[in-house]
Amino acid sequence: MPAAPPAPGASSTEAVIEAPEVRLIGIGKRFPGVIANHDVEVTIRPATVHALIGENGAGKSTLMKILYGVQKPDDGTIEVGGTERSFRTPTDAIGVGIGMVFQHFMLADNLTALENAVLGAEKLHGIGDKARAEFESISERYGFGLRPDVLVEKLGVADRQRLEILKVLFRGAKVLILDEPTAVLVPQEVDALFANLRDLRAHGHSILFISHKLDEVLAIADDITVMRRGTTVGSAVPGEVTKQELAEMMVGSELPSPETSESTVTDVVQLSLSGVTLTDDAGRDLLSDISFDIHRGEILGIAGVEGNGQAELVETVMGMRRLTSGRILLGEEDVTDWDTRRLRESGVGYIPEDRHRHGLLLDSPLWENRILGHQTRPPSVKGPWINRSGARKDTRRIVDEYDVRTPGIDTVARALSGGNQQKLIIGREMSGDPVLLIASHPTRGVDVGAQAAIWSHIKRARHDGLAVLLISADLDELIGLSDRIEVILRGRMVGTFDPAGVTPKDLGAAMTGGGEA
Amino acid sequence: MSTTQVDKSAPSERARKIGGMYRTYWLVMLVAVVALSLVRIATGADDITAANTLRAAILSACPILLAGMGGLWSERAGIVNIGLEGQMLLGTWGAAYFTYNYGPWVGLLGAAAMGALGGLLHGLATITFGVDHIVSGVAINIIGLGATTFLAEAFFSDYQYGGPRQLTGLDGLPFVTVPGLSDGLKSLNDQGWFVISDLAGLLAALTTKVSVVTILIAVIVVLTAWILWHTSFGLRLRSCGENPAAAESLGVNVYRYKYVAVLVSGGLAGLGGAFLALVAASGFTTNQSNGRGYIGLAAMIFGNWNPFGTLGASLLFGYTDALRLRSPSAVHALLLVVAIGLLAYAAWRFYQGARTSAIVLGLIGAAFLVWFLTTDTVPREFTGMTPYVVTLLVLALASQRLRPPAADGQVYRKGSAG
Ligand SMILES: Nc1ncnc2c1ncn2[C@@H]1O[C@H](COP(=O)(O)OP(=O)(O)OP(=O)(O)O)[C@@H](O)[C@H]1O
Ligand SMILES: [Mg+2]
């Protein structure tokens, strides 16, 4: 059961024996219009996995950035290994053995994976063959399958995530901060990661782990701290709480489950792909001979380990890549050669896999971000002009309907917490009554409460005839939302499943080519 | 757990890429030599591969190359330095002043220091105060011109051989000739044999009266490539130009690397100024760089922010520049080269399946061919433009593949990580 936050200095019996690895005492941080953190108290015991959970905008990432020296706290003190520290830059934090995986990727696109990994840690293994060998050995040990010399711009979200994790492992930090590292990983990858986190823990490392997936939290954590509205509101011990109780502590409501209501599938085909093939410059097939139909009122889920052609499939349908052969129909129309704008004008919504790269202008206010992708349609425009008041009004609607936590619509997108950025994108893409929604990891990084709300938004739209192409690493989401699931492996569709009769385990096996469909 | 196959041949993938790059480089060189040779024989314009022309081409390319290297250093760290022109001017003055007083070697150092001073100014404005890079660069160009004019008047008026706008009679720097080789190659060059004489001309240009500064520049190009791509210092510097927030989150002191980059950048531009004052000419005049800083920047872009690409681009510019100065009639023959180049490229694009661009290129190529066939000379007004037109043309053709550093020209504020 939830207990009161441990009073500084007087925690449980183990903590008396072992001095805490990290203590955050009375941390406070204010941004214009928001109190991101106040009176935060967290104690991390050595050689433990400490989970930090809380609703979107609760202040988790801010707290971690403070611990990593990226942001300076307004109040409070940080103790590492019993000594009080004040970090001016990440360099100081790295110096005392802290490493961090940020919620949003911190990678240089035009450098190779290896270069990104060794950057800042050249002293450990140099930048040559020794570093390459270390990179490959970590990649192998964790089953990441990353190639050192590939440019990061060529990597999809999951590979980027794996690379981010590899980066901290490469550094061998004593305290690891992992801010939502599993959001786009499939269960097998999460298991592999957890096995290694346990291994690291056994070797004396402490890990701070942030996730909205409560199953994961219960599976890996030794201690759990819950944050709400900028402060720590409680702590829990995994063996003694259930998912439901955790969810209640986080958002004060019950845990939703993605149960489908009765089928709304019609016989009208909304999107039809036939024989879609895409080859890269070297002539290798990225997608081979993909054919499927999505009807109005139907959700087609695509299951697969990231990097098996999902991104290419989405970009092909969205007109961002030219297919090598095959045909795409939207309703009755042949849209094979259409460009992205024309597709969007005819009612295709798009939730990109990487919200920072493709979804938002981080330094523009929310209402300008609302216009993005709708720059030719009302209410964003009136004739040839931008309709400022229309766009602002509609942004306010999205903020209300999708519960985007923000001081206002003139706030820049960067100032929103990750989950709230995601909610804004979903709200935008669901507006204007789309006929087809292409959704890559739609609930990536949103809390359990908001996830349920998004699911019901999608279901309502499906009831009204929306067709959805859903790509997700969250198998529960796939099974709960989809009317049909196709498995993609190395650019081919290798099996169809009925979500009513499939378990995550079956899907997992099919995704890695282990199971027969 | 991932199904992505680990490519066991990963290192060789890299080796292959690099190997491919060098192969392309040599192939382009070879094609160019053959084309030039054919055109020379077809038109009788012997000047286009004469050893003297090529030597002049190298002389003309050097300052541009230095400016280009300067641009490369700063842009790789994310700072657009169009102040190169002004920094070059500061370099010309520094070269003159320090050579007059302390001899040419100190002159080189002085030029680099003056250029670096311009770089420091640009760094202060863009890095510390977050001024827009273009605005600051333009300001530096204006300051550079004004300051050198003022300083020249203040210092050089009283010097021997000096005046308010120039300073001549400066000690030069030594030239190197490889004895034996040089003469033999030159006479081979005069034979007019297909390809062999043209190659001999090239080698003769590289072995006859080569300035030590030119050799120094060659070393700088190689060093730049090595430092930026093979040392951890270079990796950190480049990371600041690609994603400074990520670099900072990994403990890289972004400001420091940006400052180093912009100082080196200014220093190289200043050295370019020294080349103009001490090697290409034998003295200082005001506004001596005459736009070469900008051309250097263009060469760097066309060289795809890569030292050897910049080298190639600078040589191309230097070559056309030398040709128009030495032999306006050879510029006419150049039309044929351009036509052949365009048509070949059009064919290549067509083969790749890019129909429209192939047709457009083909038409432009055909136009050049017609121009060549229906005229005997290129009007004098046009010859002056040749280097710029050729650079523009190549830039336009190459621009589809160019890839600037991702955070180039963006103002970065410390503490923006996360
Ligand atoms: N740079 C910033 N400028 C202004 N406000 C900010 C900034 N960064 C965060 N905030 C605000 O601070 C609050 C906490 O944000 P934070 O990113 O820490 O949330 P979080 O718990 O990580 O949420 P999520 O689960 O969505 O990632 C939010 O209200 C956010 O809008
Ligand atoms: Mg967060």
Q: Does A234 lie in the same domain as A159? A: yes
In a domain, A176, yes or no: yes
The best mutation among A34, A100, A250 to test binding of ligand 1, ranked by most ligand atoms within 8 Å of the C-beta, falls on A34
Is A231 close to ligand 1, i.e. is its CB under 6 Å away?
no
Name the packing angle between helices B181-190 and B196-207 (round to 10°): 150
pLDDT of residue B11: 47
Q: What is the pLDDT of residues B107-119, one digit of tens each?
A: 999 999 999 999 9
Q: Judge if pTM exceeds 0.95.
A: no
pLDDT of B137 strictly over 60: yes
pLDDT at A15: 41
The CATH number assigned to the domain holding A157 equals 3.40.50.300
Residue A216 maps to a domain: yes
Cα separation, B135 vs B137, in Å, equals 5
ipTM here:
0.83
Is A284 part of a structural domain of the chain? yes
Chain A residues whose CB is inside 8 A of the B243 CB are: 106-109
Run of H or E residues at A287: strand A285-295
Which of A183 and B233 is assigned the larger pLDDT?
B233
Residue A237 φ then ψ, to 5°: -110, 130
* DSSP bridge partners of A44: A22
Q: Which domain holds residue A481?
A: 264-346+465-517
CB atoms within 10 A of CB B42: 10
Helix (H, G, I), strand (E, B) or coil at A102: coil
Residue B148 has pLDDT above 50, yes or no: yes
Give phi and psi for A470, each to the nearest 5: -110, 125
Give the percent of chain B with pLDDT over 90: 47
Residue range B337-379, pLDDT digits in tens: 888 888 888 888 888 777 888 898 899 999 989 988 898 888 8
A31 lines ligand 1 (CB under 6 A): yes
- Chain B hits for A100, Cβ within 8 Å: 249
Is there a contact between A181 and A101 (Cβ–Cβ < 8 Å)? yes
Residue finishing a domain among A414, A432, A450: A432
Ligand 1 pocket, residue A272 CB under 6 Å: no
Q: In this predicted structure, what is the pLDDT of residue B14?
A: 62
Residue A367 or B45, more confident:
A367
CB-CB under 8 Å, B242 with A94: no
Nearest to B2 among A100, A145, A167 (CB): A145
Same domain membership, residue A81 and residue A212: yes
The answer to whether residue A164 sits within a structural domain is yes
Per-residue pLDDT, A261: 66
pLDDT of residue B144: 95
The verdict on A299 and A400 lying in the same domain is no
- Give the β-pairing of A467-471 and A299-303: parallel
Nearest CA in chain A to B237: A119
Among A432, A449, A477, which residue terminates a domain?
A432
**What's residue B12's pLDDT?**
54
Q: Is residue A51 in a domain? A: yes
Non-local (6+) Cβ contacts of A129 within 8 A are none
Mean pLDDT across B248-272: 95
A340 domain residue, yes or no: yes
List the pLDDT tens digit at each of the 517 positions of chain A: 344 444 444 444 444 456 788 999 999 999 888 899 999 999 999 999 999 999 888 899 999 999 999 989 999 999 998 889 989 889 899 989 999 999 889 999 999 999 999 998 888 888 888 999 999 998 888 778 899 999 998 888 888 888 998 999 898 888 999 999 988 787 888 888 898 889 889 988 999 999 988 889 999 999 999 998 889 988 888 888 888 888 888 877 666 555 556 778 888 899 999 999 998 877 788 899 999 999 999 999 999 888 888 989 999 999 988 888 899 999 888 998 898 989 999 999 999 988 888 889 988 999 999 998 888 888 888 888 888 898 999 999 999 998 899 988 999 998 898 889 999 999 999 988 899 999 999 988 888 888 888 888 888 888 888 999 999 988 888 988 899 999 999 889 988 998 888 888 888 888 887 644 4
Task: Look up residue B144 and give its amino acid.
Answer: G
Residues A49 and A119 in one domain: yes
Residues A391 and A312 in one domain: no
Give A154's contacts in chain B (Cβ within 8 Å): none
Provide the pLDDT for residue B3: 38
CA separation for the pair B395, B313 (Å, rounded):
9
A411 and A288 both lie in a single domain: no
- A118: contact with B, CB 8 A cutoff: yes
Measured over all CA atoms, what is the biggest interatomic distance in chain A, rounded to whole angstroms? Answer: 71
User: Are residues A37 and A114 both part of a single domain?
Assistant: yes
User: Angle between the B254-274 and B232-242 helix axes, to the nearest 10 degrees?
Assistant: 100
Domain B46-401 class in CATH: mainly alpha
- Closest Cα to atom 18, ligand 1: which residue? A59
A421: Cβ below 6 Å to ligand 1? no
Amino acid B4: pLDDT = 40
Chain B contact for A412 (CB, 8 A cutoff): no
Cα gap B261→B238, rounded to integer Å = 10
Same domain (yes/no): A474, A419: no
Average pLDDT over residues B99-124: 96
Tell me which of A381, A411, A432 is where a domain ends.
A432
**Are A195 and A301 part of one and the same domain?**
no
Asked whether B338 and B396 are in contact (CB, 8 A), the reply is no
Q: Which long-range contacts (CB under 8 A, 24 or more apart) does B147-150 make?
A: B147/B89, B147/B90, B147/B93, B148/B89, B148/B90, B148/B92, B148/B93, B148/B286, B148/B287, B149/B286, B149/B287
Nearest to A251 by CA among A269, A225, A236, A229: A229
- Per the structure, how many domains does chain A have? 3
Residue A410: inside a domain, yes or no?
yes
Judge whether A178 lies within some domain: yes
